[in-house]
Chain A
Amino acid sequence: MATAIEVENVVKRFGQTIALRGVSLEIREGELFAILGPSGCGKTTLLRIIAGFEVPDSGRVYLKGKDVTNVPPDKRGTVMVFQNWALWPHMTVYENVAFGLRLRKLPEAEIRRKVLQTLEMLGLRGLENRFPSQLSGGQQQRVALARALVVEPEVLLLDEPLSNLDAKLRLRLRGELKQLQKKLGITMVYVTHDQEEAMSLADRIALMRNGLIEQVGSPSTLYKKPKTLFTAAFLGRTSLLLGKVMDAGDDKVLVRAGEIDIVAQNHGLQKGEGAAVVIKAEGARMEPHKGRETVKIRGTVTVSMYVGAFVEVRVRIPGSKYEVMLDLPLDTPAPGPGQEVEFYVPLDNIHAYPIEEDVIKEIAEQA
């Protein structure tokens, strides 16, 4: 697949704050690419630099191989859908959607045909003469999308477009957006802080932290093979323990945390080093898994609560201040608080990394 967007070593400062610290990435034509990360990581700044609303202090941006770093936003061929949708309140749905076509000086009949066709595609027919204030949140979001899609942009940039909607509508529109992207084959760059949204929508994800890209890859790669401590801890429901490496092999490592030893996948640890162990909550059982390598975790239950699809249990590791969060299937009789228990977690779900104080602090703040 050809490259649609290339960002090369982009740095951006706002006064004393460094928003991007040398970001590079490639986005392929026709893919839905998500930029994921916590608040303040620089993801929206990166998107706005691609759109041309911000200028990088250094680095370049290429669209289809052409350097557009100094090209104003109205001449880039990228169209952006904003978090608040930015619908012009003084224009009707029709006028909002037709705006971009009028700028391109298309004949009025052609404009009408395209606008109505796009509105039809997005289930908005009949609402042409309404003003944005007369629409529901979902309809407004679709109008914003229609306004962007109608001009057939080379790249569609979306800045958390679903974050202002309620959970159910968000789920529905997420599915519709994915279908639409596949149908039109358009390159989409989607910024979000919602990992579930990124995982379910994107072909590939760039996970950002503190103005840098932590890892780029498919959702399953990021989830199952996190290269960094932050990637492992940020994605999914996770717990973090600190301990010391008792033994280290190429693939596995034995870490002592409190009074227990935990086997984890090794990500560059040596014997005797301090280790940060990330345990994903899902897949935990109260008996060993058949045909799958599992790790035993022993401790005292502090909290046990029903959360719908599973039972969340928090287990205090003996001799430490750490708690591990585990999701047990509903068919398992959940232990009560104060009970001493043993759990089994798949080895795939436990990763150990060298300790990075700043990452640990950040993860703790987000918890």
Chain B
Amino acid sequence: MSLERLKKAVFHPTKSDLEIVIFLYLPLVFILLGFVLPLLSTILSARGWEVFRDKYYLDLSWDAFSNIVEYKTIRNKIIITVKGFDLGVIGNSIVNAVLVTLTATLLGSSVAVLVGFYRFRGRRIFAALAYVPLLMAPFVNAYIIQRFVNPTLGYNTLSYIISKFFTEPLLGKTVIISFKNQAGVFLAQVLMFYPIVYINTLAALAAIDATLVEQALNLGARGFKLLRKIVLPLIVPGILAGSTLVFILSLEDVGGPIIFKYHKFISYEVYQSVAYQATQEIAKVASLSLIMLVAALTPLVVARQYLSLRYYARLARGAPRPFYGLKLGSKGYVLAYLIVLPIIMAAAIPQFGIIVLAFSERWVGALPDLLPADKLFTNFEALLSIEGIRRSILNSLYYLGQAIVFIAVLGFMAGYATARARLPGATLLDTLTSTPLAIPGLVVAFSYFVFFSKHNLGGFFDPQNVPYGVVHLLVLAYVMRRIPFTVRSVFTSVIQTPEELEEAARSLGSRRFRVLARIVLPLTWRGLIAGILLSSIYVLAEVSVSVTIGALGGDIYSSDHLGPITFALLQLTTMTTLVGGTQPQAKAAALAVLLMILEATVITISSRLARRGQALITV
């Protein structure tokens, strides 16, 4: 577009007005300078391609699979240790993410089809249990899974249950099963992330027009044929949306590698380089970040391409009627209760384990040692009495307080502009406000660290400038990473409000500013508040930037460190001692319980306000 045409389009008095120009271009410039520029300039400077020649980073030989499972027997004890493969840092990240995605997709979509497509006794319990793992408790959930399956001389929790209840009384043998290395990370990620596919598939199932299913039933389609021919094609977009998100989350997950003490993943390499300021490795880490970014975006692009060809699910005329489910047969009941329920329960274990650990002194052996009744809340009291932990809570609230102002203002502007502006740049803003959801947080953290070390507006964003530079950088990162929730929520509210309501006001002589104040805000405030609430909770639960940039201000032994809650969770779950008597992990669990309560409350309020189920999940 020529400059003259651009000028004509932007400043045309009937096409645009000052308000819409500001609403569109201010957030656009903000995102371009604060997100796209640091990201591109760092990623495109990747030069460390020697990583592909180093076996530590990429090992495609058969040796990589030589030690997947170890099996030995000692007297009447059977010891099975699942270790997984070792394809090197890059290979592990990508292949593990693929396997996690496939497994989570299979599990999540199966559970969703059972819960969303069939009516049976206990359906509500299944549905509620499947939601539990959605409550984010970074690091602590992985820690609980590790407690269940870690290699130990005696029983871990899983082996304790298997041996004490099944193999010892029935066979007279003790079975010790443990998961470590890549297998441990894989297990933790599948259990943590499968509900994302579940909730997206469930949302897709809920959107199916009942008449489509009824027509198929009417023509004689039953059972698996009905599922495969009619239901599955209609819910593929939902499944794909969930799967691509799981793939990204698996790639960027740093909790699994840290807790299972197996560091051969890209995410850990990137994390380490920022958190420990390993500046000599920047060229190599930039390359690893680029690989992570490309790997994360590839399935997204493929999925979009695939979905753009498949809009037939919505071709039905008239208002869709929701489908209330088919009655489950006796075989279905057996499948549901013997296979699906144990899987759902297994996935909910971390959250229940966190609650138990929060009221325990420690969890070292097979079972946790519960606190005596009079000291039940010791770990919760420690959150306020131990300075380093209290500081992390205050830090989080302080960062949130600043970030949310920008998120609310820019989010509303961008959400409104993407829905209403018909100016050059509107589509770009639409894309850019969704993009942060697909960019691994560690890539953002690394890019910020490198870019703002060089260009920092006189130290304002300098990561070496403690505390101010670090604080500003954290707030900027939170705004950029979490603004999509507010933008999407506002966008949905605006798009659901007929534009004629605004045009009617304009037609009566009202300027856009007044239209916004009198018509748009009163009709869309629910969406705005719902978006702000969601953004807030995801700021509090943000991991990648918090544990990297947030680590630059010292650790939680220090009373004036700059780390937020998730940083404290990481430190508490990985440290061996801390004042206060109980195990640091127990204190982490108490902090995680508070976070989960907050998440559950906010997501419930937000869903009610927006009058819809939330299928957006992130880390």
A positions within 8 Å CB-CB of B? 51-55, 69-75, 78-80, 82-84, 86-90, 99-100, 103-104, 144, 147-148, 151, 157
Contact = CB atoms under 8 A, between A and B. Distances in A.
A80 B14 contact: no
B507 A74 contact: yes
Contacts of B511: 74
B523 A78 contact: no
Interface stretch (B141-149, B213-221, B497-505): B497-505
Given A69-B14, A70-B12, A157-B507, 8 more contacts: A51-B503, A53-B14, A72-B14, A73-B503, A84-B498, A100-B508, A103-B514, A104-B509
16 contacts: A51-B503, A51-B507, A54-B14, A55-B15, A70-B14, A72-B506, A74-B510, A80-B503, A83-B500, A84-B500, A86-B503, A88-B519, A89-B523, A99-B518, A104-B509, A151-B508
B522 interface: yes
A70 B500 CA distance: 20
Contact of B506 (A55, A69, A73, A88): A73
Nearest to B16: A72
A81 B15 CA distance: 20
A138 B168 CA distance: 78
B517 to A, nearest CB: 12
B555 interface: no
B503 A147 contact: no
Nearest to B502: A86
Nearest to A101: B508
A197 to B, nearest CB: 20
Nearest to B523: A90
A100 B523 contact: no
Contacts of B15: 55
B122 interface: no
B12 A79 contact: no
A181 B523 CA distance: 33
Contacts of A88: 501, 504-505, 519, 523
B13 interface: yes
A55 B12 contact: yes
Nearest to B514: A103
B13 A72 contact: yes
Contacts of B14: 52-55, 69-73
Contact of B504 (A71, A72, A90, A147): A147
Given A53-B503, A82-B504, A89-B523, A100 B13 contact: no
A80 B518 CA distance: 18
Contacts of B59: none
A100 B508 CA distance: 5
A9 to B, nearest CB: 18
Given A71-B13, A71-B14, A72-B17, A103 B508 contact: yes
B286 to A, nearest CB: 40
B498 A80 contact: no
A270 to B, nearest CB: 46
Interface residues of B, number: 22
A50 B99 CA distance: 59
A100 B514 CA distance: 12
A86 B12 contact: no
B126 to A, nearest CB: 37
A82 B508 contact: no
Most buried by A among B12, B14, B500: B14
Interface-centre pick from B498, B507, B522, B523 (highest chain A CB count, 10 A): B507
A82 B500 CA distance: 7
Nearest to A151: B508
Interface in B550-582: none
Task: State the 10 A-B residue pairs at the shortest beta-carbon distance, nearest first.
Answer: A100-B508, A86-B500, A86-B504, A82-B500, A80-B507, A103-B509, A90-B522, A73-B506, A74-B509, A74-B506
B360 to A, nearest CB: 51
Contacts of A78: 507
A144 to B, nearest CB: 8
A80 to B, nearest CB: 4
Nearest to A78: B507
Given A55-B14, A88-B519, A79 B507 contact: yes
Contact of A80 (B12, B504, B514, B522): B504
Nearest to A49: B14
A148 B503 CA distance: 12
A99 B501 CA distance: 12
Given A72-B17, A84-B498, A86-B503, A79 B519 contact: no
Interface in B469-528: 498, 500-501, 503-511, 514, 518-519, 522-523
Contacts of B500: 82-84, 86
A269 B205 CA distance: 60
Q: Which of A55, A70, A84 has the most CB of B within 10 A?
A: A55
A52 B14 CA distance: 6
B421 to A, nearest CB: 14
Contacts of A52: 14
Contacts of B507: 51, 53, 73-74, 78-80, 148, 157
A74 B507 CA distance: 5
A96 to B, nearest CB: 9
Nearest to A82: B500
A78 B506 CA distance: 10
A72 B503 CA distance: 11
B290 to A, nearest CB: 35
Contact of B498 (A72, A74, A86): A86
Contacts of B508: 74, 79, 99-100, 103, 147-148, 151
A99 B13 contact: no
A254 B466 CA distance: 97
Contact of B501 (A73, A79, A86, A100): A86
Nearest to B519: A88
A70 B523 CA distance: 29
Contacts of A51: 503, 507
Interface centre among B12, B503, B514 (most CB of A within 10 A): B503
A87 B514 CA distance: 16
Nearest to A53: B503
Nearest to A56: B14
Contacts of A55: 12, 14-15
B522 A151 contact: no
**Residue of B500, B510, B523 with most partner-chain A CB within 10 A:** B500
A151 B507 CA distance: 11
Contact of A75 (B498, B501, B509, B514): B509
Nearest to A159: B500
A358 B509 CA distance: 42
A140 to B, nearest CB: 13
Contacts of B519: 88
A75 B14 CA distance: 10
Nearest to A76: B507
A103 B503 contact: no
A68 to B, nearest CB: 9
A82 B510 contact: no
Contacts of B509: 74-75, 100, 103-104, 151
A104 B509 CA distance: 8
B499 to A, nearest CB: 9
A148 B509 CA distance: 11
A82 B15 CA distance: 19
A79 B518 CA distance: 18
Contacts of B12: 55, 70
B419 to A, nearest CB: 16
Contacts of A72: 13-14, 17, 506
A89 B498 CA distance: 11
B497 to A, nearest CB: 9
A82 B506 contact: no
B317 to A, nearest CB: 15
A34 B506 CA distance: 23
Contacts of A53: 14, 503, 506-507
Nearest to B512: A74
Interface string B14-35: 1101000000000000000000
Interface in B320-338: none
